[in-house]
Chain A
Amino acid sequence: DTEVTQTPKHLVMGMTNKKSLKCEQHMGHRAMYWYKQKAKKPPELMFVYSYEKLSINESVPSRFSPECPNSSLLNLHLHALQPEDSALYLCASSGDRTEDTQYFGPGTRLTVL
Chain B
Amino acid sequence: DAKTTQPNSMESNEEEPVHLPCNHSTISGTDYIHWYRQLPSQGPEYVIHGLTSNVNNRMASLAIAEDRKSSTLILHRATLRDAAVYYCILRDVRNDKLIFGTGTRLQVFP
A interface residues, Cβ below 8 angstroms from B: 4, 31, 33, 42-45, 48, 50, 55-56, 90, 92, 94, 98-99, 101-107
Bound-state CA distance A71–B94 (Å) is 21
Listed from nearest, the 6 A-B pairs whose CB atoms lie closest are: A104-B43, A42-B100, A101-B46, A98-B93, A48-B96, A99-B32
Residues of B within 8 A of A94 (CB): 96
Partner of A50, one of B36, B96, B100, B102: B96
Whether B96 and A106, one on each chain, are in contact in the complex, defined by CB atoms closer than 8 angstroms, is: no
A107 (CB) vs chain B CBs: closest residue = B43
Known: A43-B100, A56-B96. A101 touches B34 (CB 8 A): yes
How far in angstroms is the closest Cβ of chain B from A18?
25
Known: A92-B43, A99-B49, A106-B42. A42 touches B87 (CB 8 A): yes
A42 (CB) vs chain B CBs: closest residue = B100
B interface, over-half SS: loop
A-B contact count (CB 8 A): 56
Residues of B within 8 A of A106 (CB): 41-43
Among A31, A33, A101, the most chain B Cβ lie within 10 Å of the Cβ of: A101
How far in angstroms is the closest Cβ of chain B from A75?
17
* B101 contacts partner chain A, Cβ-Cβ < 8 Å: yes
24 contacts between A and B (CB under 8 A): A4-B43, A33-B98, A42-B102, A42-B103, A48-B96, A56-B95, A56-B96, A56-B97, A90-B43, A90-B44, A92-B43, A98-B91, A98-B93, A99-B91, A101-B34, A101-B46, A101-B49, A104-B43, A104-B45, A105-B43, A106-B41, A106-B42, A106-B43, A107-B42
